[in-house]
Structure 1
């Protein structure tokens, strides 16, 4: 489906609602409940589960061509990689960033300038916020600053899926494209591999809220995504039962035109070697079975 590229947040900026969202989001910096951990810490003085303080940490930014084709277009996706994460995936390939917080603390004005550089210098099609949950207050204020200087790219919320409904509602009208992960379908595996409680429950609720806000993926007349939901599912070794349940949930509970990326890129990084069942790569047969099931359901695949 084709749609205009005008980002939703411009309307909120014009009517003053963006300021209200910023003020509400900033309350979390002194009693943080941005994600399901609900640590309640004052991030100006200490850190919670994610280890983030009150300033955004940026590890890198630039035009990225390794994302899904509807995000990349001709000029790439304007990716901003944030440090820290609200999950502790034992097989994380970017553990230096997510666990160690590698990167540089930036002011909201500096973050706004990065957005403008990606738009004006790199000519990117969107701003792709990677692992953004714990820095939502900073992102919203940076967006407000950037819009005053002519920023108008769609916002991609590229997250692990372990999200708070309250935070997602703050992002309603801000985010144009949601791109969550959904890896496992059991509480036990969420605790074992991600160190988070009630993983499937929170991800399912989050995906439903994202779907309510933006619906299926829409593209402009150049075929570049401008609004909607794109779900990533990394097929895990020995995880076909989880894959089937996740794909069935997407089919039954979400918009029929949401886009699904069934990924086969799993590698046993970081501490994966400590867990025999995931200390190997995915087999071609496992991925083939997952793909056959997804096609049988009639899902819209990347």
Structure 2
């Protein structure tokens, strides 16, 4: 799928992650083209399945990491990196040899092989992972991956084993740990509650949850999947947050206000590549 070289669509400071990842100056987000999943509602569909971006070498990737650090990035944030894992491991090692000190964030869909994650043990500091589905039917319909719940459970266990409990510096920035994201889809609060319940009961405060209401219905989704053709309602999201609180969840990020905007989707114009 990835072909020869590494396809990158953007490498720039990014302010739209969780506060402990973006901070005041931004996370050094490197957006790789391609993705193991094909979610019908993908917010980054411009690059997830298309031949876009710029092909670079692993040597150039290491240079990009160092350039982002010089710009003040809080971390190097690898967005959908799975299919370039060997090249990334090499580039991180090279960059560290050249003075890279900031944490490495592995920002992924959660649909990861344990064998792949095991190779990242000495490379990744923070796992920023999705947990999309506890319902196989949803996983099949929207991501063509009915085995997603089982795969994500095993992957998350490996991530927590590697990263350990969350660690923050004096400025409140995460330096090590796991953040589990869940994007609430309209009409699917029960699935979201099942995800929250599983993660909390299994890992307690070993992970941070990030409950997101920013789902943006893109035109092709409205046409082909009308049930996903609206934004998440305020009450719908509030019920999910209330449910998390009722379970005793304390380590979590929530979103306030209107976050479902296409302006939150960056321009994939090869900036910084």
Tell me the TM-score normalized by structure 1.
0.80
- State the 1:218 CA deviation: 1.5
Aligned with residue 198 of structure 1, among 140, 147, 152? 147
CA distance in 2, matches of 1:55, 1:297: 46
State how 1:210-221 maps to structure 2 within 5 Å.
Answer: 210-221=159-170
User: What secondary structure sits across from 2:43 in the alignment?
Assistant: coil
Task: List, as ranges, runs of 4+ consecutive aligned residues in structure 1 with deviation greater than 3 Å.
Answer: none
- 2:160/2:206 contact within 8 Å kept: no
CA distance in 2, matches of 1:192, 1:93: 17
CA drift of 1:255 comes to 4.1
Partner of 2:232 in structure 1? 282
What is the aligned partner in structure 2 of residue 19 from structure 1? none
How far, CA to CA, are the matches of 2:149 and 2:56 in structure 1? 33
Bigger shift: residues 194-203 or 158-167: 194-203
Q: Does 1:266 align with 2:215?
A: yes
CA RMSD of aligned residues (A): 1.2
Query: After superposition, what is the alpha-carbon deviation per residue over 1:28-87, rounded to whole angstroms, capped at 9, x for unaligned?
Result: xxxxxxxxxxxxxxxxxxxxxxx2114211100111111110012232111100001111
Shift of 1:271: 3.2
Which digits, 9 at most, give the CA deviation of each residue in 1:125-172, with x for residues without a partner?
A: 100000000010110111122122111211000000000000011111
Q: In the alignment, does 2:247 pair up with 1:297?
A: yes
Residue number among 71, 84, 88 corresponding to 2:34 in the alignment = 84
Q: Could you list the per-position Cα deviations for residues 247-292 of structure 1 after superposition, in whole angstroms to 9, with x for gaps in the alignment?
A: 1111111142411110000111253221122111111111011010
1:249 and 2:175 matched: no
2:24 to 74, 83, 91: 74
> Structure 2: any 5+ residue segments left out of the alignment?
254-273
Task: Note the residue ranges of structure 1 that are not aligned, 5 or more in a row.
Answer: 1-50
**Quick one: distance in 1 between partners of 2:75 and 2:169?**
12
Matches within 5 A, 1:37-48: none
Taking the aligned partners of 2:51 and 2:127, their CA distance within structure 1 comes to 23
Contact persistence 1:168–1:209 (CA under 8 A): yes
CA distance in 1 between counterparts of 2:233 and 2:18 reads 22
Q: How many residues align?
A: 251
Could you tell me which of 178, 182, 194 is aligned with 2:131?
A: 182
Provide the secondary structure at the position in 1 that maps to 2:210: strand
What are the equivalent positions in structure 2 for 1:60-209 lying under 5 Å apart? 60-120=10-70, 122-209=71-158
CA distance in 1, matches of 2:233, 2:204: 30
SS of 2:51's equivalent? coil
Indicate how the Cα distance of structure 1 residues 270 and 156 shifts in structure 2: closer, same or farther if over 3 A, else same: farther
SS at match of 1:142: helix
CA distance in 2, matches of 1:184, 1:239: 10
**Match among 237, 247, 264 for residue 186 of structure 2:** 237
